[in-house]
Amino acid sequence: MQNRIAFVTGASRGIGRACALALSKAGARVVLAARQVEKLDQVAGEIRAAGGEAFVVTMDLSTPDSVRAAFATATKEFGRTDILVNNAAITKDGLAVRMKQEDWDAVIATNLTGAFIATQQVLLGMMRERWGRIINITSVVAEGGNAGQANYVASKAGLIGLTKSLAQEMASRNVTVNAVAPGFVDTDMTNGLGEELKARILVAIPLQRLGTPDDVASAVRFLASEEAGYITGHVLNVNGGMYM
């Protein structure tokens, strides 16, 4: 992965941060993208302190012009993107019967449409280089469903469909497109769960623990590597056995 250029969305914390650190450790130069520049700067500082190279861009995935501008800035800095990790996502949970359309639209716009627009920015460059890795972070709930998250589940299930379609479109140019589907991971997103709910979740996980951001980042690092060159259109479950 030496001298590859990786672009990670939602890189300011949690899984995105762990992916950025793992790709940098593997030798990639990393573009960190998110809305909160202060937190991005902290992650960039960690990468540089370890001897890596990082570049920060602000980006709001819900706004296509913001996505295009972020990639244009990154391209001026590094010239291309070899590895794209579509990680950024939001939740606006609620039962479908009462879900406001603006909550549906916001989640789909960020988690699915935003990932698609981001992917569009790198396809031509990867086709020209005849090498590329696109890795979409989906979710265990995209495969098994989850009450109260119709918008989030639909967005993450849509990412799986997008992954498989792009894998077929891009295979002839040696560009692989895969997804990683984390289970319940110990991040800010799950910290708000009550202890009773966490206990019920653990019962459903054969490995009897929540995942860590590093568990997910290890899978992403593998799919981004040369060793994964014959894997495409795959959904790699990192869920402790919660969904098989």
* Predicted local confidence at residue 11, as pLDDT: 98
- Do 178 and 231 touch, CB atoms closer than 8 A? yes
pLDDT-above-70 percentage for the chain: 98
Catalytic residue among 17, 152, 158, 177: 152
The pLDDT confidence band at residue 194, using thresholds 50, 70 and 90, is confident
- End-to-end CA distance of the chain, in Å? 30
The pLDDT confidence band at residue 189, using thresholds 50, 70 and 90, is low
Q: Whole-angstrom Cα distance, residue 13 to residue 146?
A: 24
H helix runs in the chain, sequence order: 14-25, 37-49, 64-78, 101-108, 114-129, 140-144, 150-170, 188-191, 195-203, 213-223
* Predicted local confidence at residue 192, as pLDDT: 65
CB-based burial label for 185 (10 Å; 0-12, 13-18, 19+) = buried
Two tokens, residue 25: 């450790």
More confident residue, 188 or 48: 48
Please say if 243 is a catalytic residue. Answer: no
Rounded to an integer, the average pLDDT of 36-64 is: 97
* Predicted local confidence at residue 226, as pLDDT: 97
Q: Measuring CA to CA, which residue among 221, 238, 163 is closest to residue 20?
A: 221
Rounded to an integer, the average pLDDT of 106-127 is: 98
Domains (range + CATH), the chain: 5-234 (3.40.50.720)
- CA 196 vs. chain centroid, Å, equals 28
* Alpha-carbon distance values, 113 to 73, 110, 155 (Å): 20, 6, 9
